[in-house]
Amino acid sequence: MRGILHVTGIVQGVGFRPFIYRLAKQYHLTGYVLNMGNFGVKIEIEGEENRLKAFVNDIWEKHPQIARIDKIEEKWEDNPPKYSDFQIMKSVKRPGDLIVLPPDIAICDECLSDFNNPVKYPERYYHYPFIACSVCGPRYTTVVDLPYDRPLTTMNKFPFCKDCAQEYQNPSDRRYHAQTFACKICGPKFTLHEKTGELVELEDPFLESIKLLKEGKILALMGIGGVHLVCTPEDDVVFELRKRKRKRKYKPFAVMAPSIEAVRTFAIITPLEEKLLTSFRRPIVLLQQNEDYYLSKEIAPGLSNIGVFLPYSGIHYLLFQNDEFPALIMTSGNISNLPMAIDRERVVQELNTLADFFLLHNRPIYQRCDDSVVRLIGDKPAIIRRSRGYVPEHIDIPFDTKQYQVIAFGPELHVTGAVLKKARCYPTQHIGDVTSLELLDFLEGSVSHLMELLRIEKPDAVVCDKNPVFLSTQLAQRKAQEFDCELFQIQHHHAHLLGLMAEYRLSLEDEIIGIALDGVGYGKEGEVWGGEIFLASYDEFKSLAQLQLQPMPGGDRCVYYPVRMLAAMLSSEISLGELENLIRNSYLDGLPYRDNELKVLLNQLQKKKNLFYTSGMGRVLDALSALLHICFERTYEGEPAIRLEHFAMRGNKKALDFKIPNSSAHKICINTSELILQALAYLKEGKNPYDIAASAQYALATKIAEVAIELATEYGINQVGLSGGVAYNQTITLTIKQKVEMAKKQFLQPYKVPPGDAGISIGQCIFGTVQFTKNI
């Protein structure tokens, strides 16, 4: 019996053909497997019927984790045998085929077994930190150019030894055509260095590093796509790390644990979270601390969760080899406002004030790539940082983008860039907050690298945010001139919603009621938006409702010292005299210059001159956080609101009744000052602060949902979506979801595209394609 199978999905460049070859050999089948580029993989297969059925079943059940099979088309014939063996045929290359380059992939079970086996390969793979095969190991961080062959990766400096060359050429071996593997004999090596860069002469740098960590030292560890600062999760060491990092006063650190069993000793893991933790992506997953939590509370001050990830290479397993640590802090090794150094000499130069010792390897890193971060919101992952393990995977665009090629440069904070070609959008790795020229160069270089891989010499359009002061906007303007192409600018919150619409595969004719909640975004006429409800399509939007515009005396100072935002929001509800007494008696510690600052603040509110106004949901949550004495100073992005969320988890969301009015003029305005005033009244009555926090969050989310549902009904829209940084707040997101679904509407919750600013570049690319198609 002969079958012709056509397999489509992500099945190229991920060890799929060697997997098919070994499977065919296992079942004693003959034929061939052929990579047809963008058209998938073709398999012509012959053998006994029961073996063929088992073969197809195993393709579905046992294919490499990184591969994604969308469909297998089967055609069966009863013809005489045609083949005497099974072969991997040379790939068919078609003009215009897009890359299918997988991301960096966590060590697979088979490689981990070899890594831990002192008998099977004692001189080659046992405890070798760079062990890899065709289905695991580094990819994107090593690729210099395409095609994806070893000479065009950073492994070109490490020629194969005789044994590795044989494995590379043997289709029955899982290292067949694995471009980034090597062994102890021919591959990269680690060395330990003093903070001066001087080599520490010893036989096993990892055993010495374990000893140093136990002594409380901080190590700089060069890994797959960058550098981690590593230390034990003990109070004194964490305090020292924060002291050295300076701008990391309270921002949480992530920890790596050696196994799921180790994680369970200090955190709660749901089945979906376990699936994320153990996936080939190996992201940092935010987990709830359990009752027996025993790591330092200073890892994540004021929070009830902790970012955890598992080892994703032999490098990390070597640090846990003697079961010395239940977890290790691993945080990005970079100086604030600078990208991670990835060159050995630069690593030592830049981090010698942060690390005591340096554990470095000699394999060049071509593309730096931070760890990805995910939080489970209900039954869906919310991607906070989309980087290692995800990039350069594309996001499918659900409509024909024709021949147009578009690049985008994101906003200012949590930036990614993106490149769009042939209805596929390729976001870059995490860049960071583009507030320095060094990070701007990183952004430009990352977009350029994707353009080179996609063979884009000149884009048809460049897209950016409408905010003229963003460095990313200025870069986009420069690149549009350089390429002599169209420049399109999109409103920040509209971009949030376009990424969401694309991941739910909405058409060009579809509209949604889109809720965009975050801290700040440049409004249509230059206002500061952040609490918006739109009628949105891919092409345009109409603002239908908004949180009350609130003054921001001192501008961004309100963001860093939320007592100022609290005072501003109450200034429309109580007299300035009452406000002065309240702040002086209960909140003066929230103003760094105390009485002097209070006088200036009250004067600004009284005169109402030169004030910025914001509808930002983040500022409302900040004010609640300050009101309840949860957070008086923001030391990292979103801190007051994040602390409020965790504080509220200890309260009853239905304990207190909040009535939030709204007014209707040309659009609906939700009165957030009234919310703060009612919360203040409950506090004066001696109500439980945890209940106030929980009830206020719930009431505001409910009100937003009710307004969105009313508008959806009015406009005949069935889909209500939520995006923006506030979508990471579990209570708010799930409350809105529940209300929308109770109203028999479809709720669009982000799970592929980051709802925060890391997803903006995707929406920008989509907008550029639509505008380009429309205008040219």
Q: Phi, psi at residue 9, to the nearest 5°?
A: 140, -150
Q: Which residue is it, tokens 């690729």?
A: 143
- Half-sphere exposure of 20 toward its Cβ, with a 13 Å CA cutoff? 28
Q: Between helices 760-775 and 492-503, what is the axis angle to 10°?
A: 90
CB 132, CB 178: distance < 8 Å = yes
CA–CA dist 438, 28 (Å, integer) = 56
Q: In this structure, are strands 219-222 and 227-231 parallel, antiparallel, or unpaired?
A: antiparallel
CB atoms within 10 A of CB 437: 10
Identify the DSSP state of 92: P
Which one of 2, 22, 35, 139 is the catalytic residue?
35
Cα separation, 641 vs 46, in Å, equals 61
- C-alpha span between 560 and 564 (Å, rounded): 9
Find the distance separating the first CA and the last CA of the chain, reported in whole Å: 54
Q: Are 737 and 747 in contact (CB under 8 A)?
A: yes
Category of 10 on φ-ψ map: left (φ > 0), alpha (ψ -120 to 50) or beta: beta
- Catalytic residue (one of 2, 17, 375, 619): 17
**Which residues touch 710 (CB under 8 Å, ≥6 apart)?**
none
Q: Which of 430, 252, 439, 241 is nearest to 336 (CA)?
A: 439
Does 386 qualify as catalytic in the annotation?
Answer: no
Residues in the chain: 776
Q: What is residue 418's DSSP assignment?
A: E
* H or E element at residue 21: helix 16-26
CA atoms within 13 A on the CB side of 662: 19
Burial 583-592 (b: 16+ CB within 10 A, else e): beeebeebbe
For residue 142, give the amino acid letter.
T
The residue whose two tokens read 């406009």 is 715
Compute the distance between CA of residue 494 and CA of residue 354 in angstroms, rounded to an integer.
40
Q: How far apart (Å, rounded) are the C-alpha atoms in residues 164 and 168? A: 6
Rounded CA gap, 632 and 628, in Å?
10
Return the SS3 of 498.
helix
Query: Is the CB of residue 481 less than 8 Å from the CB of residue 453?
Result: no
At 56 the three-state DSSP class reads helix
**Rounded Cα distance, 519 and 672, in Å:** 15
Answer whether 239's CB lies under 8 Å from 257's CB: no
Q: 255: helix, coil or strand?
A: strand
Q: How far is CA 401 from the centre of its chain?
A: 25
Cα Rg of the chain (Å, integer) = 28
Q: Tally DSSP H helices, then E strands, for the chain.
A: 23, 32
Strand, helix or coil for residue 345: helix
CA distance 145 to 142: 9
Annotation says 305 is catalytic: no
Residue owning tokens 């963008």: 38
User: Which residues are annotated as catalytic?
Assistant: 17, 35
